[in-house]
A and B are shown apart, each in its own frame.
Chain A
Amino acid sequence: MLTLTIARLTVLEMLRRRLFLVLIGLTLLVIAFTSWGFGQIATAGHPPLDRTQQIAVVSQLLILVGFMFSFTLAFSAVFAGAPALSGDVESGTALAILARPIGRAEFVVGKWLGVVITILVYAIPTTALQLFMVDRIVQYVPPHPLEFIAYITAEAIVVLTLALALSTRFAGMVGGVVALIFWGVAWIGGIVGGVGTALDNATAVHVGTATRLLLPTDGMWRGAIWSLEPAAIIAGIQAAGRAASAGNPFFAATPAEPLYVAWTLAWIVGGLGIAVWLFARREI
């Protein structure tokens, strides 16, 4: 299984190049800082906030911290994925490897798998630690913590797959910039769709739907928000009307539909298949 050989090599590269360790170090600093911030909520306000108010503030702050995790994961996936193939081709390291009896598909899937493993190894402990610290400091656990980790990881894997597919043909910097632009456009597209729903504008709704299908990153992010949103907040914002709920990029009342989750998985598999197809035809 040379796919696993390449995956192991990719993970080792992440560790030895210190990208992973720097990311972990900075994330731990952020967790320490945010934990201190959550601790301040208990004593904030004159008079101090009651428990319901505290939970409302903590849950919304946690969504913003969750956005930071989503952002960091997506950027890290792009930085790891965009040069994964093109970097090896440009530097010449691919010459010696691909002259061995290894298929191009094994090479591409191995690279993808290596970055996915790195994402999981980063995302699961750090987000779990963040949620644990919030629980310890303000005794609050979001309603769906496991789903939160699954959604932001899926978002990172989607954008990684896009970056890797671009890496089959473009230099790392070009592929990385393009992938990040698409990620940003998908996020904006989600907001446009929400605004369209709020204002009953069919065109804007269609734009939102199209971007959600073309790049399911924002769809996964909405799922991550839902997993952190307390039922009371969902009920409160929905009661405030469609304008308050649909147009808010940091609010989601429902999880991703099973069909949409299936579409996201199919998108990842299809994107990886395209990457394999493109790289198999690349001259080294």
Chain B
Amino acid sequence: MSDAAIRTHDLAKRYGSIQALAGLSMSIPPGAVFGFLGPNGAGKTTAVKLLLGLARPSGGDAEVLGHPIGSRASRRRVGYLPELFRYQSWLTAREVLALHCELAGIDRAAWAREIEDALAVVGLRERGGTRVGGFSKGMQQRLGLGVALLGDPELVLLDEPTSALDPVGRHDVREIIRELSERGVTVFLNSHLLSEVEQVCDRVAIVDHGKVVAEGTLEELLRTDTVRVHVTDLPRDADGTLASFGALDLDGDWLIARQIDTARVPELVAALVRLGARVHAVEPHHETLEDRFLRQLGGS
């Protein structure tokens, strides 16, 4: 196994005068659940199409599972649910899955088990014999997810996998992603649903105007240099003594220290105690992914 499930270096894509992707560089370790976030038109789907060889890059290079993008080998152990999920309307769900078993090179003896497992996982066991033309959009997306899970893939790329699903379906998808993660499968989740990403991803990249503007673990991305201290009996004239700790705001019983060097937090607590205040709790303040996303895009 390669040391990165996906590695891109300055990957670029231009459509005429439009720069859809401008120098995408990232490395996704095997087994990660990677959230690829960005507003509409940021280049998320373009990146996925480049990784799968569906479109050709204008510049840069990339590898999927250790093979150059566009090569047949790079697609051998990959499952993919497209944003535009359409399957042959004249086939039944089982026939669509059988077709993809064949295309994925799965041993024919394993087809029946693969198909029934996929139908069960996505909740379509009762509809396996129904033609896809009679499916709702949500059912088609569930089928697409089943197609992506066939053949024990090493990497699953999900492009907006819950766009047509109801809350139950969204919950199911999160459970499927967690299960894939437990099996060590790398998941590349393309989404603009921040809560979805926040719940399942352990690494996130925020992309805007075709460039990654922030990348890291959720912990790294959402950590801030703000600390909240739950304090009572704080003397009214404490401001002068605490001025060296930077901007401090009092919100009820919470003292909020912004832009404080985390190494100085014990010093702040000691100063408060010396002033006669009672310290009940000290909490690092985390942004929500939405706050971080909006702040990043606002500043990028």
Contact = CB atoms under 8 A, between A and B. Distances in A.
Contact of B75 (A2, A92, A93, A101): A101
B278 interface: no
B84 A17 contact: no
A96 B104 contact: no
Interface in A236-267: none
Given A99-B80, A100-B75, A101-B72, A93 B55 contact: no
Contacts, number: 68
Contacts of A98: 52-54
Interface in A212-233: none
Interface residue tally on B, bucketed by range: 20 to 34
Interface string B101-145: 011110000000000000000000000000000000000000010
Contacts of A93: 86-88
Given A100-B75, A100-B103, A16 B90 contact: yes
A92 B82 contact: yes
Interface in A2-17: 2, 5, 9, 12-13, 16-17
Interface residues of A, number: 22
A158 to B, nearest CB: 28
A124 interface: no
Contacts of A44: none
Dominant secondary structure of chain B at its interface with chain A: loop
A118 B56 CA distance: 33
B139 to A, nearest CB: 15
A99 B76 CA distance: 9
Contacts of A95: 54, 80, 82, 84, 86
B102 A96 contact: no
A284 B86 contact: no
Interface string B24-61: 00000000000000000000000001001111100000
B107 to A, nearest CB: 15
A242 to B, nearest CB: 53
B56 A283 contact: yes
A102 interface: yes
Contacts of A9: 88, 99
B100 interface: yes
Interface string B67-79: 0000011011010
Contact of A101 (B73, B85, B86, B87): B73
Contacts of A284: 49, 54-55
Contacts of A99: 52-54, 75, 78, 80, 82
Contact of B55 (A13, A102, A283): A283
Contacts of B103: 2, 5, 97, 100-102
A91 interface: yes
A91 to B, nearest CB: 5
Contacts of A103: 72
Contacts of B91: 12, 16
Nearest to B99: A9
A103 to B, nearest CB: 7
B12 to A, nearest CB: 14
B257 interface: no
Contacts of B100: 96, 100
Given A100-B75, A101-B104, A283-B55, A92 B86 contact: yes
Contact of A96 (B73, B90, B147): B147
Nearest to B150: A100
Nearest to B84: A92
B233 to A, nearest CB: 64
Nearest to B80: A99
Interface in A54-101: 91-93, 95-101
A73 B243 CA distance: 89
Contacts of A5: 99, 102-103
17 contacts: A5-B99, A12-B91, A92-B82, A96-B85, A98-B54, A99-B53, A99-B54, A100-B103, A100-B104, A101-B72, A101-B73, A101-B75, A101-B103, A101-B104, A283-B55, A284-B54, A284-B55
Given A16-B90, A96-B82, A284-B55, 9 more contacts: A2-B102, A2-B103, A92-B84, A96-B144, A98-B54, A99-B78, A99-B80, A102-B72, A102-B103
Interface of B: 49, 52-56, 72-73, 75-76, 78, 80, 82, 84-88, 90-91, 99-100, 102-105, 144, 147
